């Protein structure tokens, strides 16, 4: 996609559905489907939706609110639906719903959900602007609003962690760690107050 082509795209243009039969190799030691198998399908479906929306490569930058609501059994199919919820400047949030189906009875269960953030990359591997998204239905507009709330929370969380790390670093510059000072599991001095 040309970098300048940022015309809004409808959510429906990039929606993805993946269906996969769960086999013995997908089992964990409890005999049900391994959470990691589901997470890989979620990342794959969401990544496809992100790339379709961006019209080029996009990488996963975060996955949050991954919930496992019910176990998935071997022999069931898993259906993963991914849909772009909202975009930032170079990033976009994709929402994913996971359902299992007992093949013979057709009984379907909502087994999980997740929200993932992808960043579109240019040919040099640098973040590039993404097209805006046109939320047309009431549900799409609700998801877009909720995605904006999650984006604010993520950015605030990232900033708070960064500020804390900067603060710790400043304290260490003022008070370099004693050779004999006891350290915690992370290698930080147990005593964290500034020495005057």
- The residue number with the shortest CB distance to ligand COA is 88
* Residue list 36-75, contact with ligand COA (CB under 6 A): 59-62
Shortest CA distance to 11 belongs to which of 118, 115, 85? 85
Instruction: Note whether 117 binds ligand COA by CB under 6 A.
Output: yes
Instruction: Note whether 119 binds ligand COA by CB under 6 A.
Output: yes
Whole-number Å distance between alpha carbons of 165 and 67: 29
Instruction: Note whether 88 binds ligand COA by CB under 6 A.
Output: yes
User: Of 22 and 84, which CB lies nearer to ligand COA in the complex structure?
Assistant: 84
User: Of 72 and 96, which CB lies nearer to ligand COA in the complex structure?
Assistant: 96
What is the DSSP code string of 28-50?
-TTSBB-HHHHHHHHHHHHHHHH
Instruction: Note whether 136 binds ligand COA by CB under 6 A.
Output: no
For β-strands 58-68 and 108-120, DSSP reports them as antiparallel
Residue 91, CA distances (Å) to 64, 119, 129 in order? 15, 4, 8
Least distance from C-beta 162 to ligand COA, angstroms? 10
Least distance from C-beta 107 to ligand COA, angstroms? 34
Residue 22, CA distances (Å) to 29, 30, 47, 78, 80 in order? 15, 15, 21, 7, 13
25: which DSSP letter?
G
User: Of 22 and 117, which CB lies nearer to ligand COA in the complex structure?
Assistant: 117
Instruction: Note whether 144 binds ligand COA by CB under 6 A.
Output: no
Single out the residue of 55, 56, 127, 189 in contact with ligand COA (rule: CB under 6 A): 127
């Amino acid at each position: 996609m040309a970098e300048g082509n940022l015309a809004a795209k409808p959510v429906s243009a990039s929606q993805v559905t993946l269906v996969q039969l769960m086999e013995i190799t997908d089992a964990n030691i409890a005999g049900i489907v391994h959470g990691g198998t589901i997470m890989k399908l979620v990342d794959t479906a969401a990544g496809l939706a992100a790339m379709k929306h961006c019209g080029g490569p996009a990488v996963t930058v975060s996955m949050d609110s991954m919930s496992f609501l019910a176990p998935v059994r071997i022999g069931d199919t898993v259906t993963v639906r991914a849909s772009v919820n909202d975009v930032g400047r170079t990033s976009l949030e994709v929402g994913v719903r996971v359902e299992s189906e007992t093949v013979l009875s057709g009984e379907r269960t909502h087994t999980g959900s997740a929200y993932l953030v992808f960043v579109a990359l240019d040919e040099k591997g640098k973040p590039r602007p993404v097209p805006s998204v046109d939320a047309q239905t009431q549900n799409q507009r609700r998801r877009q609003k909720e995605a904006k709330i999650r984006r604010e929370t993520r950015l605030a969380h990232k900033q708070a962690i960064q500020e804390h790390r900067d603060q710790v670093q400043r304290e260490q510059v003022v008070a370099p760690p004693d050779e004999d000072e006891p350290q915690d599991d992370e290698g930080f001095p147990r005593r964290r107050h500034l020495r005057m």
